Amino acid sequence: MGQVDEKIEGMYQEVLKRNPGETEFHQAVLEVLESLGPVVAKHPEFLERKIIQRICEPERQIIFRVPWQNDKGEVQINRGFRVEFNSALGPYKGGLRFHPSVYLGIIKFLGFEQCFKNSLTGLPIGGGKGGSDFDPKGKSDDEVMRFCQSFMTELYRHIGEHTDVPAGDIGVGGREIGYMFGQYKRITNRYEPGVLTGKGLTWGGSLVRTEATGYGATFFVNEMLKARKDSFDGKICTVSGSGNVAIYTIEKIHQLGGKCVACSDSNGVIYDEKGLDLDLIKQLKEVERRRIQDYTATHKHAKYIAKGNIWDIPCQVAMPSATQNEINGKDAATLVKNGCIAVGEGANMPTTPEGVKVFLDAKIAYGPGKAANAGGVATSALEMQQNAGRDSWTFEYTEKKLEDIMINIHSNCYETAEEFGAPGNYVLGANICGFIKIANAMVAHGLV
Ligand code: GLU
């Protein structure tokens, strides 16, 4: 990647010093700061008001104990987080991640990314993120419920429809949002749908929210392809992961005429040359909560590659939709060598800095997560709009809004990259475009 402008270098050093050991947060900050040299050259007021230093420091960080009992009656202790990063553009907004790898550095990288992503949507939402090192894998439904109730018993006092609006992320889907909403309602005695997004459809949820991140990422790639006078038609695609983002990415790829031949989970990779059978994947993952290895039980022609690397499978379009740093420099080089022409990130920061450099140097269409996967949070903001108006929109209407938002994000990033002398560089375009809007609002709000 590029270099940090000399005026900004000291700010990055300060971030390293103030946040020791938080490597993912450092990585996310560096990637944005590398893009901002030309911005501060044009806007000396951002330097004067120390906007970059202020953006790198969360407005508020909450860390709390989450005690709960497992089915055997044993006491369990987890750690809960909510990092309220930036409220210049609206209430803090961002998901909750339940995964054993969660610590402050992960939540801060996600919260930082979320600020720029939310800014790019053009909707009135600030940035935040939260979660816990709780591992939902192998837990019973009752255990998940008790955990969610305990988590919300602390979190409820920090959130609200005009303050902070959490949603899902890895390990948090409709079931968890339901348990947390129930507990929030019970403690506060308020039926306040706008306090959480990703709700069930009969109690304030929005159509298309489930599909939104995957659909949105695919719309974004479609726009990148169109900008190169190309399309999804007949393209061989691979999508890492098999959670909510991956499933609806595969669905939209198929609808747009592409053929997705592989997906994965943390144990291995499924390769189906004929194109993945999405109904089966939905049944295994959404209904039965099983591993994708079971795909081959009914589809004998497909291959399960235990501990395999999905990026070794040749494809024209790759859509990393699992987790951070899942594509390293070597994986990126393999993808490019095998003829990959477009990468759209459904996950947050799935490509390491070395990998990003490979994609940018090869000049393939590379859509970074904060732009490509913004459709999820954008549709959360549409859910908030419906809640505020006590309304519910049709699937077609909501999907069209999502598509328009993604088209808009694409053109804003594309045009910003051109304006700042780096045509085709969506990393630069997304970082600058997301940053300027927040920075202008912060200048307008004074020193707060
Ligand atoms: N966790 C999702 C993201 O990374 C969605 C957040 C939301 O809907 O608030 O953007």
Model pLDDT, residue 3: 80
* Pairwise CA distance, residues 89 & 117, whole Å: 12
The Cα-based distances of 335 to 329, 341, 352 in angstroms read: 10, 9, 14
CB 58 less than 6 A from any atom of ligand 1: no
Task: Report the candidate in 445, 394, 409, 440 with the shortest Cα–Cα distance to residue 120.
Answer: 409
28 φ/ψ sector (left φ>0, alpha ψ -120 to 50, else beta): alpha
Task: Report the candidate in 189, 195, 186, 139 with the shortest Cα–Cα distance to residue 162.
Answer: 195
C-alpha count within 13 angstroms, C-beta hemisphere, residue 335: 35
Return all residues near 390 (Cβ < 8 A) that are at least 6 apart: none
CB 171 less than 6 A from any atom of ligand 1: no
Model pLDDT, residue 231: 98
Provide DSSP, 9-78. Answer: HHHHHHHHHHSTT-HHHHHHHHHHHTT-HHHHHH-HHHHHTTHHHHHTS-SEEEEEEEEEE-TTS-EEEE
* Mean pLDDT, the chain cut into blocks of 10 residues (448 residues total): 84 98 98 97 97 98 98 98 98 98 98 98 98 97 98 98 98 98 98 98 98 98 98 98 98 98 97 98 95 96 98 98 98 98 98 98 98 98 98 98 98 97 97 98 97
> 369 CA distance to ligand 1 centroid (A)?
11
CB 321 less than 6 A from any atom of ligand 1: no
> 94 CA distance to ligand 1 centroid (A)?
5
Model pLDDT, residue 163: 98
* Pairwise CA distance, residues 115 & 60, whole Å: 14
Model pLDDT, residue 2: 62
> 242 CA distance to ligand 1 centroid (A)?
17
CATH superfamily of 60-191: Leucine Dehydrogenase, chain A, domain 1 (3.40.50.10860)
Active site residues: 129
CATH superfamily of 212-372: NAD(P)-binding Rossmann-like Domain (3.40.50.720)
| Probe residue for ligand 1, chosen from 169, 195, 211 as the CB with the greatest number of ligand atoms within 8 Å | 169
Domain(s) labelled CATH 3.40.50.720 in the chain stretch across: 212-372
Domain(s) labelled CATH 3.40.50.10860 in the chain stretch across: 60-191
- Which alpha helices (DSSP H) does 164-272 contain, by range? 174-188, 209-227, 244-255
pTM (2 d.p.): 0.98
CB 324 less than 6 A from any atom of ligand 1: no
CB 320 less than 6 A from any atom of ligand 1: no
Task: Report the candidate in 121, 68, 67 with the shortest Cα–Cα distance to residue 94.
Answer: 121
Name the β-bridge partners of 303.
271
> 373 CA distance to ligand 1 centroid (A)?
9
